[in-house]
Amino acid sequence: MTESKTYSFFLGCVMPNRFPNVEASIRLVLPKLGIELEDLEGASCCPAPGVIRSFSEPTWLALASRNLALAEMAGHDLLTGCNGCYGTFKETLSVIREHPERLKEVQKVFKGMGLKFKGTVEAKHLIELINDINPEEIKTLLTKSLEGIKVGVHYGCHLLKPSKNRPWKQTQRHTFLDELVELTGATSTKYKDKFLCCGAGGGVRGSQVAVSVDIAKEKLDNMIEVGVDCIVNVCSFCHLQYEVSQVQLNKELDEKKYQIPVIYYTQLLGLAMGLDPSELGLGDHMIDTKPLLDKIQGL
């Protein structure tokens, strides 16, 4: 494995409040890949790109820049595991670098706060770092093949777009997350409308719950149709959407049709590393992971 590098870890709002189990898997797995995490002291909400920015773009820019400034002052690039947070930071850096006058506006807001910000910091998604590691190096850490496990991969919107300030190859058919899933031996299973939004972003989950759940239902139905064993995502908000929507749908239908375990990529990778499922937080999900774990145990 390459030499370790330390990043300022930005948790965001959803992960620490709703999914400490996902956080646990990230903190357990990333150091094994040479990615060290240092908590970003004093961090606030990112804030969400589809909500705050719509009401007050200058407020959004200043708040996002404050989080980036904290990482810059700590001497590390910022690392997040939430697509929305990632989108906010990538777009903020794009704005202040393409329009230097906007950076000056932010610096004026910071005057007297003890914050120094030049915009030299970078913002990374943890899957971006994992994707940059030689796959053969990752394979040396794997002790358990997940062959036979059918995965419904969900990328999420803000991870990929806008493509002009994302590091991925510009295509409408990304495969990098599928390839990382298949490193574990699992199969990334094709399903209809794979790149459709989960239905949570842009304030939809908060303001139009029925619409939000209906979008999630379409994707869940498509994954059920092809018989996936689990959904793998890399965004704490998408994670929330798929877990909570299944609970809501089962309650509405008064049956348990929707029972697809929703797991974060570091949880899947941790299983392939032979790590204890409980330490990866796999006993603390709204949708029971036991059928998935039993199937993996039997492989």
Q: What is the DSSP string of 10-29?
A: E-TTHHHHH-HHHHHHHHHH
Q: Flag whether 132 is in a domain.
A: no
In this prediction, residues 247-260 reach a mean pLDDT of 92
Both tokens assigned to 256: 């348990």
* Strands (DSSP E) found in the chain: 5-10, 35-39, 78-80, 123-125, 150-153, 187-188, 230-233, 262-264
As a whole number of angstroms, the distance between CA 224 and CA 245 comes to 14
As a whole number of angstroms, the distance between CA 189 and CA 223 comes to 9
Q: Which domain holds residue 169?
A: 138-297
As a whole number of angstroms, the distance between CA 275 and CA 267 comes to 9
Q: Locate tokens 């304030």: which residue?
A: 203
In this prediction, residues 122-147 reach a mean pLDDT of 97
Residue 202 carries which DSSP code?
T
Name every residue whose Cβ is closer than 8 Å to that of residue 195 and which is 6 or more positions away in sequence.
155, 160, 172, 173, 174
Band of pLDDT at residue 206, cut at 50, 70 and 90: low
Q: Flag whether 133 is in a domain.
A: no
Are 58 and 159 in the same domain? Answer: no
Both tokens assigned to 54: 């719509």
Q: What is the biggest distance separating any 2 CA atoms in the chain, rounded to whole angstroms?
A: 60
Q: Is 216 helix (H, G, I), strand (E, B) or coil?
A: helix
Are 83 and 38 in the same domain? Answer: yes
Amino acid present at 192: K
Chosen domain end from 74, 98, 126:
126
Are 267 and 151 in the same domain? Answer: yes
- CATH (domain of 116): 1.20.1050.140
Are 182 and 243 in the same domain? Answer: yes
Chosen domain end from 126, 153, 181:
126
Are 14 and 87 in the same domain? Answer: yes
As a whole number of angstroms, the distance between CA 153 and CA 166 comes to 19
As a whole number of angstroms, the distance between CA 48 and CA 201 comes to 9
User: pLDDT tens digits for 264-287?
Assistant: 999 999 999 999 999 999 998 999
221, 185 in Cβ contact below 8 A? no
Are 160 and 260 in the same domain? Answer: yes
Residue 165 carries which DSSP code?
G
Chosen domain end from 126, 159, 189:
126
As a whole number of angstroms, the distance between CA 175 and CA 173 comes to 6
Are 176 and 293 in the same domain? Answer: yes
User: pLDDT tens digits for 72-114?
Assistant: 999 999 999 999 999 999 999 999 999 999 999 999 999 999 9
Are 290 and 260 in the same domain? Answer: yes
Please check the confidence at residue 163 and state whether its pLDDT lies above 80: yes
Please check the confidence at residue 175 and state whether its pLDDT lies above 80: yes
Number of domains in the chain: 2
Are 82 and 176 in the same domain? Answer: no
